[in-house]
Structure 1
């Protein structure tokens, strides 16, 4: 298969810079997810890997070969898009077969490849149907099979699950990850959905405004965020970020008071994840703004007067709206960020 390197990639559109001096290494067989809000540059980055966009500066290197001057059709990559892009007048069999015909694969070899790809996505019984007779999830699986059948050295997937409902997205995530492990193909996956990123990726690249904010495993990104953007983007609900003042070993903000390292002084932002908060502590006082039972957990929103704090409470927790609430923080799970939003790590 193939590794991918991006070396100081820049993409400009007139005076607007969509991707800013991006360097990244993607290992052979790795499942890498580009994650970020709309307009952050993640799809542009993937399109430059595919050859659908030319970088303004820098080099795209696939399998140790600079591919800037190589056409998209000759880069041996397969793409799966948000839209299924299936031919409605063809059967699923013919849709999967299409890239084999385009690449001149011998007819005698095509049938086995088509059926193997179809079985991998559990469409073996649907090959004679046309796309209009399939559900959205089945059509997306057909698009995956069409990519798989080519046996490319790189898979590129641009928000392939965003048209599906929540239940189908969950099942398709499992299928995509299992298929990638079977095929052992280097995969770049673009999404704005942090749940997809956390569940699929070997590593996540979080982007914002054309720049990389952090690269790491899902555990690294979640447990060790580099800045307030990453901390506030990852997690459901995301990390609570509370602006306040540190002095003499105490962090204070309206309705909030907790111990902090003695080395901290001046304006800082405290970060605490909802699952690291407990009802009944002494670090935060406020009122119950919202109580949302979900079966396995109750989401509690606490209003301090100037901000709302999200808490994951026990499944059987209940409180009347506007009733007084006190919240505790796990002292081992506090994060602190400076005035620029960067993580403060050296607190000795």
Structure 2
């Protein structure tokens, strides 16, 4: 298979810069997820890797070859899109076969390759049907099989699960990860869904405004966010971010008083994840704004001052709206960010 290297990639559209000086190494067989909000540059980056967009500056290297001047069809990458892009007049068998015909693979090899790919996504019994006769999940699996059958160096997947309902997305995530591990193909996956990113990725690249905010494993991104953007983007619910002031080893804000490193002073932002809060304590005082039981956990929204924060409470926690409440923080799991939003890591 192949590694991918992006060297100082820039993509401009007139005066607008969609991707800003992006450098990234993607290891052979790695499952890398580009994650970020709409318009952050993640799909543009993927399209440049595929050859569907040309970088304004920089180099794209697949394996040992600079591919900037190589047409998309000659880059030996396979793409799976949000839309299934299946030919409605062809059977699933012929849809999967199409890339083999385009790449002029010997016809006597087609049937075995098609059935192997179909079996990998559990579509072996549906090969004679047309796309209109399949469910959304089955059509997406057919699109995956069509990508798999080519045995490419690289898989590129652009929000392939966005059109599926929650239950199908969960099952398809498992199937995609299992398939990628079987095939050992370098995979770049684009999504705005942080659950997909956390469950699928070997590493996540978080993007915003065309620039990389952080690169790391799912655990690193979650437990060690580089800035307030990453902290507030990852997590369900995301990290609570409270602006306030540090002085003499205490962080204070309206309704909040919590410990902080003694060397911090002035305006900072305190970060605390919902699961690192407890329903008892005096770090935060407020009122119950909302209670959402989900079966295994209760999500509690607490209003304090003019703000709100999210707390993961015990599954059996219940309280009336507007009830006064005190919230405690796990002092070992607090995060601090400076006025620019960057993480404060070092103790002076």
- TM-score, reference length from structure 1: 1.00
CA distance in 1, matches of 2:53, 2:87: 25
> Structure 1: where are the runs of 5+ without partners?
none
- Equivalent in the alignment of 1:289: 289
CA distance in 1, matches of 2:332, 2:84: 46
> Structure 2: where are the runs of 5+ without partners?
none
- Equivalent in the alignment of 1:37: 37
- Equivalent in the alignment of 2:80: 80
CA distance in 1, matches of 2:75, 2:292: 49
CA distance in 2, matches of 1:247, 1:295: 41
Pairwise CA distance, 1:281: 1.2
Where do residues 124-163 of structure 1 align in structure 2 (5 Å cutoff)? 124-163=124-163
CA distance in 1, matches of 2:64, 2:219: 29
- Equivalent in the alignment of 1:212: 212
CA distance in 2, matches of 1:39, 1:255: 36
- Equivalent in the alignment of 1:228: 228
Could you give the per-residue CA deviations for residues 251-300 of structure 1, whole angstroms, max 9, x where no partner exists?
Answer: 00000001111010000000000000000111000000000000000000
- Equivalent in the alignment of 2:106: 106
Aligned length: 348
- Equivalent in the alignment of 2:97: 97
- TM-score, reference length from structure 2: 1.00
CA distance in 2, matches of 1:20, 1:287: 44
Pairwise CA distance, 1:306: 1.6
Q: Aligned with 1:308: secondary structure? A: strand
Could you give the per-residue CA deviations for residues 207-265 of structure 1, whole angstroms, max 9, x where no partner exists?
Answer: 00000000000000000000000000000000000000000000000000011110100
CA distance in 2, matches of 1:182, 1:259: 48
- Equivalent in the alignment of 2:309: 309
Where do residues 40-79 of structure 1 align in structure 2 (5 Å cutoff)? 40-79=40-79
- Equivalent in the alignment of 1:25: 25
Pairwise CA distance, 1:305: 2.0
Give the aligned CA root-mean-square deviation in angstroms.
0.4
CA distance in 2, matches of 1:193, 1:170: 12
CA distance in 1, matches of 2:85, 2:296: 39
Are positions 1:194 and 2:194 aligned together? Answer: yes
